[in-house]
Structure 1
Amino acid sequence: MAYKGQPNFDHRQPRRIGVLITNLGTPDAPETGALRRYLREFLSDPRVVEVPRLLWFFILNLVILVIRPPRSAHAYKTVWTEEGSPLLVHSQNQLAGIRERLKQQYGEDVVVKLGMRYGNPSIPSQLQEMEDEGVRQLLVLPLYPQYSGSTNGSTFDALAKDFMQRRWLPDLRFISHYPDYPPYIQAMADHIRVFREQHGSADKLVFSYHGVPKRYLLNGDPYFCECHKTSRLLAEALGLHEDQWMTTFQSRFGREEWLQPYMDATMKALPGKGVKSVQVFCPGFSADCLETIEEIDVENRGYFEEAGGESFAYIPALNAEPVHLDALTQLIEDNLQGWEPEDNHVATLEARSARADALR
Structure 2
Amino acid sequence: MNRPEHAPADHPQLPARKIGVLIANLGTPDGTDYWSMRRYLNEFLSDKRVIDYPSWKWQPLLQTVILTKRPFSSGANYKTIWNNDADESPLMTITKEQVAALRDRAQTLWGDRVMVDFCMRYGNPSTPDVVDRMVRAGCDRILFFPLYPQYAGATTATANDQFFRALMTQKRQPAARTVPAYFDRPDYIAALAASVRRALGDRTPRKLVASYHGMPKRYLTEGDPYHCQCQKTSRLLREALGWDAGVIDTTFQSVFGPEEWLRPYTVEHVAELAKQGITEIAVISPAFSADCIETLEEIQGEIREAFVHAGGREFTYIPCLNADPDHIDTLTAIVAENLGGWI
Shift in Å at residue 221 of structure 1?
A: 0.5
CA RMSD across the alignment: 1.4
User: 2:164, 2:11 → 1: CA distance?
Assistant: 22
- 1:156 and 1:245 mapped to 2: Cα distance? 31
Larger mean CA deviation between 183-192 and 158-167 belongs to 158-167
Evaluate the alpha carbon distance shift between residue 12 and residue 123 of structure 1 in structure 2; reply closer, same or farther with a 3 A threshold: closer
Report the Cα offset of residue 206 of structure 1: 0.7
Q: Which residue among 158, 163, 167 is the counterpart of 1:159?
A: 163
Shift of 1:13: 3.6
2:26 aligned residue (24, 27, 30): 24
Which has the larger displacement, 159-168 or 203-212?
A: 159-168
1:271-304 CA-partner distances (Å, limit 9, x unpaired): 1222111000000000001100111011111111
Q: Deviations over 1:220-246 (max 9, x none)?
A: 000000110111111111111112111
Among 181, 185, 191, the alignment partner of 2:195 is 191
Distance 2:214 2:296 in 1: 16
Change in CA separation of 1:9 and 1:138 when aligned onto 2, cut-off 3 Å: farther
SS at match of 1:177: coil
Question: Secondary structure at the residue paired with 2:80?
Answer: helix
Distance 1:15 1:284, change over 3 A: same
Instruction: Judge conservation of contact 2:210–2:250 (CA < 8 Å) in 1.
Output: yes
Which aligned runs of 4 or more in structure 1 are off by greater than 6 angstroms?
Answer: none
What is residue 52 of structure 1 aligned with on the other side?
54
Give the SS at the match of 1:243.
Answer: coil
Once the two structures are superposed, what CA deviation does each residue of 1:106-130 show, in whole Å capped at 9, x if it has no partner? 0111000010000011111110110
1:62-112 residue CA offsets vs partner (Å, 9 max, x unmatched): 111001000000000000012220000000000000110111000111000
1:172 correspondence with 2:176: yes
Contact 1:186 1:237 in 2 (8 A): yes
Name 1:355's counterpart in structure 2: none
Q: Secondary structure at the match of 2:128?
A: helix
Structure 1 distance, partners of 2:128, 2:16, is 22
* Separation of aligned partners in 1, 2:192 and 2:12: 45
Deviation at 1:12, TM superposition (A): 5.4
2:45/2:51 contact within 8 Å kept: yes
Kindly indicate whether residue 136 of structure 2 is the aligned counterpart of residue 132 of structure 1: yes
* Aligned twin of 2:288: 285
- For residues 156 and 141 of structure 1, the distance between their equivalents in structure 2, rounded to whole angstroms, comes to 9
The alpha-carbon deviation at position 178 of structure 1 amounts to 0.9
SS at match of 2:201: helix
- 1:265 paired to 2:263: no
Aligned residue in 2 for 1:256: 259
CA deviation string 1:335-354 (max 9, x = no partner):
111112xxxxxxxxxxxxxx
Q: 2:43 aligns with which of 32, 41, 44?
A: 41
Which structure dedicates a bigger proportion of its chain to helix?
1
CA–CA distance in structure 2, aligned partners of residues 96 and 13 of structure 1: 23
Does the aligned pair in 2 maintain the 1:297–1:313 contact within 8 Å? no
2:237 corresponds to 1:234: yes
**Could you give the per-residue CA deviations for residues 111-158 of structure 1, whole angstroms, max 9, x where no partner exists?**
000100000111111101100110011101100110011111101110
The one-letter amino acid of 1:108's match is: D
Distance 1:149 1:225 in 2: 13
Structure 1 partner of 2:67 = 65
Structure number with bigger Rg: 1
Which one-letter code corresponds to 1:71 in the other structure? Answer: S
In the alignment, residue 54 of structure 2 is paired with which amino acid? P
Q: Give the drift of 1:307.
A: 0.6
Distance across 2 between alignment mates of 1:208 and 1:336: 32
Is residue 30–residue 73 contact of structure 1 (8 Å, CA) maintained in 2? yes
Deviation at 1:201, TM superposition (A): 4.2
Tell me the CA shift for residue 195 of structure 1. Answer: 1.3
2:82 matched to which residue of 1? Answer: 80
Structure 1: tracts of 5 or more residues without a match: 1-7, 341-360
Deviation per CA, 1:165-196: give whole Å up to 9, x if none. 22221111101311111111111111111111
Matched with 1:274 is 277
Say if 1:204 and 1:244, in contact at 8 Å, map to a contact too: yes
Matched, 1:149 2:170: no
How much does 1:218 deviate? 0.8
Amino acid at match of 1:236: E
Q: Is the 8 A contact 1:202 1:278 kept in 2?
A: yes
Conserved 8 A contact 2:284-2:318: yes
Q: Does the aligned pair in 1 maintain the 2:143–2:178 contact within 8 Å?
A: yes
1:325, distance to aligned residue in structure 2 (A) = 0.6
Aligned residue pairs, count: 332
Task: Check conservation: 2:132, 2:170, Cα contact below 8 A.
Answer: no
Structure 1 residue 14: Cα displacement: 2.2
1:4 corresponds to which residue?
A: none
